[in-house]
Amino acid sequence: MKLGGIKSVENAHDDSVWAVTWVPATANRPPLLLTGSLDETVRLWRSDDLLLDRTNTGHCLGVASVAAHPLGSLAASSSLDSFVRVFDVDSNATVATLEAPPSEVWQMRFDPKGAILAVAGGGSASVKLWDTSTWELVTTLSIPRPEGPKPTDKSGSKKFVLSVAWSPDGKRLACGSMDGTISVFDVPRAKFLHHLEGHFMAVRSLVYSPYDPRLLFTASDDGNVHMYDAEGKALVGTMSGHASWVLCVDVSPDGAAIATGSSDRSVRLWDLSMRASVQTMSNHTDQVWGVAFRPPGGSDARGGRLASVSDDKSISLYDYS
Amino acid sequence: MASVYIPVQNSEEEVRVALDQLPRDASDILDILKAEQAPLDLWLIIAREYFKQGKIDQFRQILEEGSSPEIDDYYADVRYERIAILNALGAYYSYLGKIETKQREKEEHFILATQYYNKASRIDMHEPSTWVGKDHELAYFCIVGFTAETCQLLLAKGEVEQASAAFKIVIDGDHDNVPALLGQLLRAEYLYMDKVKIQHHILVQACVEFNRGRYSESLELYKVGCMAIFFAIEKSAVRLGIGLCRYKLGQFEKAQQAFERVLHAKNVEALVALAIMDLRTNEATGIRKGMVKMQRAFEIYPYCAMALNYLANHFFFTGQHFLVEQLTETALAVTNHGPTKSHSYYNLARSYHSKGDYDKAGVYYMASVKEVNKPHEFVFPYYGLGQVQIKLGDFKSALSNFEKVLEVYPDNCETLKALGHIYVQLGQTDKGQDFIRRATKIDPRDAQAFLELGELLILSDTGAALDAFKTARTLFKKGGQEVPIELLNNVGVLQFERGEFELAQQTFKEALGDGIWISFINEENKSSIDAATSTLQFKDRQLFHDLESNGHRVEVPWDKVTVLFNLARLLEQLNESGTASILYRLILFKYPDYIDACLRLAAIAKARNNILLSIELVSCNLLALVNDALKVNDKCPNALSMLGELELKNDDWVKAKETLRAASDATDGKDSYATLSLGNWNYFAAVRNEKRNPKLEATHLEKAKELYTRVLIQHSSNLYAANGAAVVLAEKGHFDVSKDIFTQVQEAASGSVFVQMPDVWINLAHVYFAQGNFALAVKMYQNCLRKFYYNTDSQILLYLARTHYEAEQWQDCIKTLLRAIHLAPSNYTLRFDAGVAMQKFSASTLQKAKRTADEVRATVAELQNAVRVFSQLSAASNLHIHGFDEKKIDTHVGYCNHLLSAAKVHLEAAEREEQQVRQRQELARQVALAEEARRKAEEQRKFQMERRKQEDELKRVQQQEEHFKRVKEQWKSSTHSKRRERSDDEEGGTGEKKKRKSGKKRKKDKHSKSRYDTEEPETDMMDEQEMEDEEADVNYREEPQTLMNDDGEENAQGLLAAAGLEDSDADEDMAAPSSSVARRRQALSESDDDEPLQRQSSPVRENSADMQESDGEIREVDKTNGDDASDEEKQY
């Protein structure tokens, strides 16, 4: 397996690009690339040529996360001011504006069926679940406070939730927090299951394998990527190689590889059968905040695509084969 | 036929004696001689004739009679001839002594000879011939016995010079001048006696010259002597001398001829000499021939020391040490000749040396050296002695010995290397380097020399060292030898140090070869090796037990441990910390005492927990590990240092200090790391107590400085100490000095991968910042961030933001803070600061003289953001989730409220401003184009409509924020009322556009003044925030007090800010009616009267704020600093 560079857009945004995701193809258009930036805009790009389709404004402070509905019609973007804007991808009409003060908004993910939007709630130590039809807050999945006396140092007992991931069957939700612990929830019963331990620094991104609902990949500031058996609470593997924080991770649609982006300015491709880094792309000149494999489907889905975005204001597109 | 005539007494007749018809019985002729009282020279002539004819007894009889007491009486005044007779007898007995093999008889002969000579010298002390006698004898023995069994008389006593001096008197001339000697010889040729005498002179001189090493002169003399040869025995001796001279002069063929001519006489010396010549051909056949000759010589005469020595030498090389000892002992017993004895001792010593008995070898080498007068003659024992002395650790003596060898052989590689080695051992690395470099130049194929050179260069010039090592490696490989592991290790480490990680990894792997580690390094995915769990549990060695029980052999040869450790260290550098961890544990599994591996494991664990909030876990994980290391060696300063540092991280200040003390004590204060840590501790302590107790601060700073200085005295090139010292200086306000130091440290640190000193960059930036050089400070922070932290350090981003803030680059400041928030989302302080920056930005925009509606709108948006940030913050703080104290949250809320009200005013001002703009435009239109005014007004209205629409949109976006909406609603109503009032006012003062303008100008002045007011509280707030954050982990108990203070301050400041803004409004109103004159007056800032105090005081406060902040960072930074230092320490 390997990555081949297809196209890079310098100065795709006016400032650091912090978020990226693919909007799945719909009946009348191919998949689009959705990016969010510190310049307070969200932009849509046509694939392969990376032509700018539209620029959405309206956010204040930087756009920290973007998410796309599995059907491809809706997308959500969130900014540091903790507003979530849900909009129609094709018309840019605002569908809903979500906030749940005092909870902040970090990473967002639609569940695989598209019925729920999960939002990492930062300091509220919870994940908020929004119904995508009514745009009502359905559930708040809170991470329970550990037992024992109240600690006095600043390590605190609260988990600052940064990232969320849905299992492919939509039954499980995992969230990563600032202190490196990962919490797994049973979504249908809205119940906290257990923690996964092994990281001791912020987990900014995590993703379930598309085929194995137990297998979870996590990227952490400690420079490692961990593989967990999310059900069995076991650490299955560790992949080290990045020189600095691993900021983002995504798994390929075929489930054979993962891609990571890091503060060390590189994008790495990891072969899961070898559990080793097989390729390092170093075309970015600053931290790589997002990597995203294009989901399968769509009429012109010729091959796998991987997109990466970086603090250097650029977007890169690679062919994955 | 020659004959002599004996004058008959008292007559003129003479008795004719035919020399070839001398009577058989010497008594006959003696009677005649006695009766006729013949002159003594006739006696001598006749005796010689007898000797010539081989009639030794007669010869002796005549001479003995001629030297009897009655003759002495009778010829009392004939001195010269009497001496000659005695000399002849002495020579005769010397000869006997020479040919005698039995030691006792030999000695007797020599005693007799000496007696005769002594008698001769008693006759006349100043008669030259007596000297000649002795010298002759000396010469004789020297010539014949260069192998020297018989040199008891003079030479053995080392009296060569004396002999020479004595001889000088005899020949009475320039002894260096051979032609002069020849001339003398010719002049005296016809005088028989003289001939003999001169012949003696010449031979003696030849011998002396030979012993002095002037072989060509000696040769000439021998040649002359040969022409005038008299004694047969002397002839062969002279030939031997000639041969030796030629040999020494390198004329080997002629030498061989000379020796061969002597050979017929079964002359052992000649045989030995020939054998030596054979040996020195250095070919197998030659050597064999030589050894055969040696053996023959040994058979002919088993006590020839020279032959014995050579045989011993031969057997040394064939490894028959027993024979060597026997032969050399015999040789030592039969000879007294210095050089030969020296040779024998040398052989013996060498034998012991090769057997490893250094003490005995040393003794014999010493004995050998003692027998050698000048190293030039026989230098090998010096070399051997030097070697033994190195082995025994006596480097000084070894040095002098090797230097002697070097004098003789200035280009000898081995000696140069040995000398280099010794100089290194003596600490004179430069000299050592020179020698080894010379060695490598002389023999560029000597791998060992390059190896040593490399080792020497490691400390000074890594590049050159690497080159040397590489050369050595290729040489080893070329030579088909196995490359030593140490060499590969060194190459690897150097490559590592130069950042050539790939190469280093290859090298280490090459050094390691095959082993259990291969599976860990290469096949991490192998199912039998569960890397995942292993990275979790740093103490887990179960893995290896499992492997062993599965039948794998877990072996780590002792000589590969270091390489393995280095490889693991390299993997760590390459971020393969998982594999590194396994390797460390593999080392520990086999060598549980390997503390460094244990410490590295702790360091890996520490790095993983770096920014982690849960220090609890750190302490559990790490203290246990470090305690492990301490168990191994209670006094290990490295482990203690690390423990101390961890305790610091754990905010266990007192404990940390004790531990660091212990670390320092464990090394008698010599461990600069421990001292440095103590210095840092003191520095932190000083900074921590800044607000509490200035006295304590001063003492701590002083102590810190002292400790840094101590380290600097010990290691003048310690960057960390220099950095620390500069920090203390900066703390005291000596910015220029500290800047210089920082700059130097920065330069020095930019060489090796092991020296990572981002702190110095930050400190330098702080200094620039404190000096107001914001642009440079920004650059420095950015470079540091990029270079060392991959732009991931939110703390530095905060510094950067603060610099932008001071430089009034609001947008940059806000963007920077947003980035920081993105990097450290759980740091609410950053949000607070961002809010402040937004508010400040809005305020400053509002204070601008000219602003467009867009600007104001942006300002409003920014203000709304600020309000949202603050309200969010206060809401979030209510959850008290990030360890903030309740009181602190209250403070936040209070301050936010203040800011909100301030923002309200700002918004009012903005609205008003907008209206003013509109009105102004309207008025301008009215004045300029009265008729178009109405149309314009319509346009204006349209414009207003648009505005409102836009505002509506804005509102829509933020519909959800009810709170704010309400506030806005309120504002709107209030503005409306105010606006109405205002418009009334304005209507009252129509056409006062100019005045309005002036009012605005004035307002600007006013605002720029009040900027300090508003800024101060904000700045302080930022700082205090940070300070408190830092302090939160420093000492929690003390915090409430701080907070109390802060409460007061912040409230007051908040009010002040608000007041300042209110003030400006008031001013504006007042200014409205004022004239342009007043404006000018105000422009000249005379109206500042009410504020200069504040103005002056503000910079001071700012400064102190700066310092607070920089303290904080330096503290943070020094902690990482420590990490690096420990990393570095654990490198090798």
Query: Nearest CA to CA, how far is A62 from chain B (Å)?
Result: 7
Residue B518 has pLDDT above 50, yes or no: yes
Rounded average pLDDT over A139-152:
69
A104 to B825: CB separation less than 8 angstroms, yes or no: yes
Rounded average pLDDT over B563-578:
81
Q: What is the pLDDT of residue B214?
A: 63
Pick from B372, B369, B378, B339: which is nearest to B149 by CA?
B339
Q: What is the pLDDT of residue A185?
A: 94
Amino acid at B881: I
Give B-chain residues touching A163 at CB under 8 angstroms. none
Residue B788 has pLDDT above 60, yes or no: yes
Domain boundaries, chain B: 489-591
Give B-chain residues touching A155 at CB under 8 angstroms. 612-616, 883
Rounded average pLDDT over B1059-1066:
35
Mean pLDDT of the residues in chain A: 89
pLDDT bracket for residue B753 (50, 70, 90): low
* Chain B interface test: which of A106, A238, A278 (most B C-beta within 10 Å): A238
B574 to A311: CB separation less than 8 angstroms, yes or no: no
Candidate from B651, B957, B1036 with C-beta closest to A58? B957
Residue B1012 has pLDDT above 50, yes or no: no
A235 to B533: CB separation less than 8 angstroms, yes or no: yes
A60 to B868: CB separation less than 8 angstroms, yes or no: yes
Amino acid at B55: K
Candidate from B536, B578, B611 with C-beta closest to A221? B611
Q: What is the pLDDT of residue B963?
A: 67
Verify cis geometry, omega within 30 degrees of 0, for the bond prior to A146: no
pLDDT bracket for residue B962 (50, 70, 90): low
Chain A residue with minimum CA distance to B618: A200
Neighbours of B103 (CB within 10 A): 12
B532 to A226: CB separation less than 8 angstroms, yes or no: yes
A104 to B876: CB separation less than 8 angstroms, yes or no: yes
Q: What is the pLDDT of residues B252-290, one digit of tens each?
A: 777 777 777 666 656 666 677 777 776 666 667 777 777
Q: What is the pLDDT of residue B541?
A: 59
Residue B492 has pLDDT above 80, yes or no: yes
B617 to A200: CB separation less than 8 angstroms, yes or no: yes
Rounded average pLDDT over B1015-1034:
38
Q: Compute the radius of gyration of chain B from its Cα atoms.
A: 53
End-to-end alpha carbon distance in chain A = 5
- Contact at 8 Å (CB) between B210 and B244? yes
B1036 to A153: CB separation less than 8 angstroms, yes or no: yes
Mean pLDDT of the residues in chain B: 66
- Lowest model confidence (mean pLDDT) among A147-156, B407-416, B529-538, B1032-1041: B1032-1041
Q: What is the pLDDT of residue B674?
A: 77
Q: What is the pLDDT of residue B127?
A: 46
Q: What is the pLDDT of residues A287-312, one digit of tens each?
A: 999 999 998 876 555 678 999 999 99
A102 to B876: CB separation less than 8 angstroms, yes or no: yes
A201 to B610: CB separation less than 8 angstroms, yes or no: yes
More reliable by pLDDT, B348 or B958: B348
* Chain B interface test: which of A39, A61, A217 (most B C-beta within 10 Å): A61
Q: What is the pLDDT of residue B509?
A: 82
Q: What is the pLDDT of residue A285?
A: 92
Q: What is the pLDDT of residue B353?
A: 81
- Lowest model confidence (mean pLDDT) among B32-41, B308-317, B437-446, B883-892: B883-892
Evaluated on CA atoms B553, B554, B559, B564, the torsion sign reads positive
Query: How many DSSP H helices and E strands does chain B contain?
Result: 54, 2
Candidate from A158, A223, A276 with C-beta closest to B524? A276
pLDDT bracket for residue B527 (50, 70, 90): very low
Rounded average pLDDT over B230-234:
45
Q: What is the pLDDT of residue B1040?
A: 34
Residue A33 has pLDDT above 90, yes or no: yes
pLDDT bracket for residue B851 (50, 70, 90): low
Q: What is the pLDDT of residue B972?
A: 62
Candidate from A101, A199, A240 with C-beta closest to B577? A240
Give A-chain residues touching B864 at CB under 8 angstroms. 60
Q: What is the pLDDT of residue B1103?
A: 35
Domain boundaries, chain A: 3-144+168-320
Residue B343 has pLDDT above 80, yes or no: no
Q: What is the pLDDT of residues B927-938, one digit of tens each?
A: 787 777 777 778
pLDDT bracket for residue A233 (50, 70, 90): confident
Q: What is the pLDDT of residue A10?
A: 92
Residue B739 has pLDDT above 70, yes or no: yes
pLDDT bracket for residue A123 (50, 70, 90): confident
- Lowest model confidence (mean pLDDT) among A15-24, A205-214, B98-107: B98-107
The structure tokens listed for B332 are: 């030592």
Query: Nearest CA to CA, how far is A111 from chain B (Å)?
Result: 24
CA distance B861 to A59: 11
More reliable by pLDDT, B194 or B566: B566
Give B-chain residues touching A61 at CB under 8 angstroms. 818, 834, 865
Amino acid at B323: L
Give B-chain residues touching A275 at CB under 8 angstroms. 524-525, 531
A238 to B818: CB separation less than 8 angstroms, yes or no: no
Q: What is the dihedral of CA B573, B577, B579, B580, to 10 degrees?
A: 60
Candidate from A99, A152, A180 with C-beta closest to B1036? A152
Q: What is the CATH architecture of A3-144+168-320?
A: 7 Propeller (2.130)
Chain A residue with minimum CA distance to B883: A154
CA distance A105 to A128: 9
Rounded average pLDDT over B437-456:
77
Q: What is the pLDDT of residue B101?
A: 67
More reliable by pLDDT, B380 or B1101: B380
Residue B975 has pLDDT above 80, yes or no: no
The structure tokens listed for B263 are: 């050979």
Pick from B134, B142, B208: which is nearest to B176 by CA?
B208
Q: What is the pLDDT of residue B1016?
A: 36
pLDDT bracket for residue B229 (50, 70, 90): very low
pLDDT bracket for residue B1049 (50, 70, 90): very low
Candidate from B613, B791, B864 with C-beta closest to A178? B613
A80 to B821: CB separation less than 8 angstroms, yes or no: yes
Rounded average pLDDT over A181-185:
92
Chain A residue with minimum CA distance to B812: A15
Per 3-state DSSP, chain B is made up of helix, strand and coil in percentages (nearest 5) of 80, 0, 20
Query: Nearest CA to CA, how far is B861 from chain A (Å)?
Result: 8
B608 to A200: CB separation less than 8 angstroms, yes or no: yes
B815 to A80: CB separation less than 8 angstroms, yes or no: no
Candidate from B791, B815, B881 with C-beta closest to A263? B791
Q: What is the pLDDT of residue A37?
A: 94
Residue B798 has pLDDT above 60, yes or no: yes
Q: What is the pLDDT of residue A8?
A: 93
Using CA atoms, how far residue A79 sits from A105, B337, B482, in Å, is: 7, 103, 64
More reliable by pLDDT, B1026 or B776: B776
Residue B491 has pLDDT above 80, yes or no: yes
DSSP calls for B940-989: HHHHHHHHHHHHHHHHHHTTT-HHHHHHHHHHHHHHHHHHHHHHHHHHHT
- The secondary element (H helix, E strand) that includes residue A192 is strand A191-196
At residue B125, the 3 state secondary structure works out as coil
B25 CB-contact burial (10 Å; exposed 0-12 / middle 13-18 / buried 19+) = exposed
A276 to B819: CB separation less than 8 angstroms, yes or no: no
Q: Which residues of A12-46 are buried (b: 16+ CB within 10 A; e: fewer)?
A: bbebbbbbbbbbbbbeeebbbbbbbbbbbbbbbbe
B709 CB-contact burial (10 Å; exposed 0-12 / middle 13-18 / buried 19+) = middle
Residue B966 has pLDDT above 60, yes or no: yes
A276 to B525: CB separation less than 8 angstroms, yes or no: yes
pLDDT bracket for residue B219 (50, 70, 90): low
More reliable by pLDDT, B971 or A224: A224
A201 to B608: CB separation less than 8 angstroms, yes or no: yes
CA distance B747 to B755: 11
Q: What is the pLDDT of residue B194?
A: 40
Q: What is the pLDDT of residues B295-324, one digit of tens each?
A: 777 777 666 666 777 777 777 777 777 777
Rounded average pLDDT over A22-30:
88
Give A-chain residues touching B865 at CB under 8 angstroms. 60-61, 81
A154 to B882: CB separation less than 8 angstroms, yes or no: yes
- Lowest model confidence (mean pLDDT) among A46-55, B437-446, B759-768: B437-446
Residue B164 has pLDDT above 70, yes or no: no
Rounded average pLDDT over B672-685:
78
A154 to B616: CB separation less than 8 angstroms, yes or no: no
Candidate from A15, A64, A180 with C-beta closest to B612? A180
More reliable by pLDDT, B570 or B307: B570
Chain B residue with minimum CA distance to A58: B957
Phi, psi of A79 (to 5 degrees): -125, 175
